[in-house]
Amino acid sequence: MRLKVLILAVLYTFLLSYANPLREEIESLTKDQSVDVGIYVESLATKSFKFALKDKQPFIPASNQKILTTASAIINLTPDYRFKTQILTDGFVKDGVLKGNLYLKGGADPSLSYEDLKSFADYLKQIGILKIEGDIIGDNSFFLEEGRGHGWPEKDFEYCFTAPFSALSLNENCLRLELISDKKRVSVKMYPDNEYYEIVNNLAISKKYSDYKVKAEGRKIYLTGYIKPLSKAEVSIPVKNPSLHTTSAFYKMMKESGIKITGKYHLGKTPPNANTIITHKSQPLKEIIKKANKDSNNFYAEQIFRTLGKEILGKGDTETSATVVINTLKKVGIDVSNIRIYDGSGLSKFNQLTPESIAKILSYMYNTPYFFDFYQSLAVAGTDGTLKHRFKDVKGKIYAKTGYIKGVKNLSGYILSDNGEVYVFSILVNNLKSTEIANKIQESVCLILANGKTQL
C-alpha cells in the first residue's frame, strides 16, 4: 500500500513538472495584461495529464456555445435526425384544380433553399395541380418565437450573421441583392425572388466611383448612391418576418412555374385533418452540424437549438431549449452552477460557460458511439472552416471550435499529439482589448500539446 502511495506521489510530481511550463508560459503572456484566461486540458486516451486554470469560473463563450448546442443535439436527437418541411392541403383536386388552401409547414430546416421550393412547385405540377382556388399559407408554429436572441449585438442586425431564426426559413433568412449596371441605369434583382419586399431603386451611374447604401424599412428596400457603368455588385441583408418572406417566395415561385393561384399568401396554422402532399427531409443532423461548427454559422446553430426544445420538451423556444441543454449537461455529470444559456449560437453577451464544462462535454462525446460524427463537424487546423488559416505548423492535429465576439476570443476542442495522446482542451479569453494576446495564449498551449511536450 505504501509503495502504491509512493508511486502516485512521484507520478504527481512528474505531472506538475510538465504542467509548470504551461503555467509559466501563460503567466508570462498575461502579465500586465487586463485579460481573463480560463483553461482546462486533459489527456483522454491515458488520463495521465491534466492542467486547469480558472476552470470553474464563468466566461462569455462566444461561438464555443455551439459545442454545447450541437453535442446536445447529437445526444438527444441522434446523428440521423432530419428536419422536415411539408406541403399539405385542406382541399381536394378535381380536373387540375386544387379546391382549398395549400400549406407550407416549416420544421426548422436551416438548409431549406429556393431550389427546394422550386422542386415543390415542379412536383405539384407533375401530379396535375395547375390551379389553386385558395390561399398559400405558411405555418411557422413549430417554434413559439421568431427573431433574434436576448443580448445579441444590435449594431450588427444589418448583417446576415445575425439573421433571425424561424421555424419556416429560406436561404438562411438572408436576401441577396444583385446590382447590374449598363451605361445608363442600374437594375436590381432579389435572390430569392419574392413578393414580400418592394425595391425602391434610386441608384445612379457614376463613371468615377461606386458608393451606395441599402436600407430596409418595413417591406421596402431603399437603394441610394452610385454604381460604375457596366459593372456588377452584390449585397446581402437579413430578412425581416422570415416566415412570411418564405411564404411569399413560395407563392411567387408557384405562379412563375405556371400554377394559377386565386388567393393570397399569409401565415396560419395547418388544420389537423389536412392531407400531406410532400414531405421534404434535410440531410441528417451529423451533416447539418458541420455548418454550425466548421463555419460557425449562427443561423444553423439557432435552428438546431430551438429544435431541441420542441422535440424533447414540446416547446420550440429559447427557455425550453436552454433547459434541454442544461439537463443534458447534468446527465453527463457536469456542474451547471456557473452556466447561463441565452441562445444556441453564442451571439449573446449574457451566455456564461466554464472551461471545465466545455471540456467535460467534449470528453463525454469522445466516449460515445457518435464521437466520429461530432468530431468531423469541427474545424481542422490549417485545413478548413474557421481554422483554415491558423495553426499551419500543426496542420490536421487540432479539431476545434473557435469563438469570437467583441472582447472575447475562445478555442476548444481536441488535439492529436505527437506523443500518441489525444487531449481535450478549452481556452477561454475574455476582457480583450485586442485579439493578439488571445492568439498567443491559444497557440502556445496548443503547440505544446500537439508537439507532445507533456509526455512523461
In this structure, the dihedral spanned by the alpha carbons of residues 40, 384, 284 and 355, taken in order and rounded to 10 degrees, is 10
Please, what CATH class does the domain formed by 18-81+285-450 belong to?
alpha beta
Lowest mean pLDDT across 40-54, 100-114, 215-229:
40-54
For residue 45, the model assigns a pLDDT of 87
pLDDT at 104 over 70: yes
For residue 46, the model assigns a pLDDT of 85
pLDDT band at residue 32 using 50, 70 and 90 as cut-offs: low
Region 304-309: what's the mean pLDDT? 98
Region 157-167: what's the mean pLDDT? 97
pLDDT band at residue 14 using 50, 70 and 90 as cut-offs: very low
For the entire predicted model, the pTM comes to 0.93
The mean pLDDT of the chain is 93
What DSSP string describes 366-381? HTSTTHHHHHTTSEET
For residue 400, the model assigns a pLDDT of 98
Lowest mean pLDDT across 2-11, 189-198, 208-217, 360-369:
2-11
Position with higher pLDDT, 107 vs 10: 107
Region 98-111: what's the mean pLDDT? 98
pLDDT band at residue 15 using 50, 70 and 90 as cut-offs: very low
The label of the residue with cell 443580448 reads: 151
Report the alpha-carbon distance of residue 152 to residue 60 in Å, rounded: 13
- State what percent of residues in the chain have pLDDT above 70: 92
Position with higher pLDDT, 13 vs 410: 410
For residue 24, the model assigns a pLDDT of 74
pLDDT at 416 over 80: yes
Report the alpha-carbon distance of residue 272 to residue 171 in Å, rounded: 28
For residue 454, the model assigns a pLDDT of 61
For residue 30, the model assigns a pLDDT of 66
For residue 456, the model assigns a pLDDT of 35
For residue 17, the model assigns a pLDDT of 44
pLDDT digits (tens, 9 = 90+) for 355-411: 999 999 999 999 999 999 999 999 999 999 999 999 999 999 999 999 999 999 999
3-class SS of residue 428:
strand
Region 218-247: what's the mean pLDDT? 96
Report the alpha-carbon distance of residue 341 to residue 334 in Å, rounded: 15
Neighbours of 278 (CB within 10 A): 16
pLDDT at 2 over 50: no
Domain boundaries defined on the chain: 18-81+285-450, 84-146+242-281, 162-238
pLDDT at 422 over 60: yes
pLDDT at 26 over 90: no
pLDDT digits (tens, 9 = 90+) for 267-294: 999 999 999 999 999 999 999 999 999 9
| CATH T-level assignment (fold) for domain 84-146+242-281 | D-tyrosyl-trna(Tyr) Deacylase; Chain: A; (3.50.80)
DSSP 440: H
Q: Are strands 220-227 and 92-94 parallel, antiparallel or unpaired?
A: unpaired
- Asked if the domains 18-81+285-450 and 84-146+242-281 are classified in one and the same CATH topology, the answer is no
From residue 101, give the alpha-carbon distance in Å to each of 87, 264, 385: 10, 10, 43
pLDDT digits (tens, 9 = 90+) for 45-70: 888 889 999 999 999 999 999 999 99
The label of the residue with cell 511550463 reads: 21
Region 102-107: what's the mean pLDDT? 98
pLDDT at 11 over 90: no
Q: If we measure between CA atoms, which residue out of 132, 127, 106 comes closest to residue 316?
A: 106
pLDDT at 3 over 80: no
pLDDT at 19 over 70: no
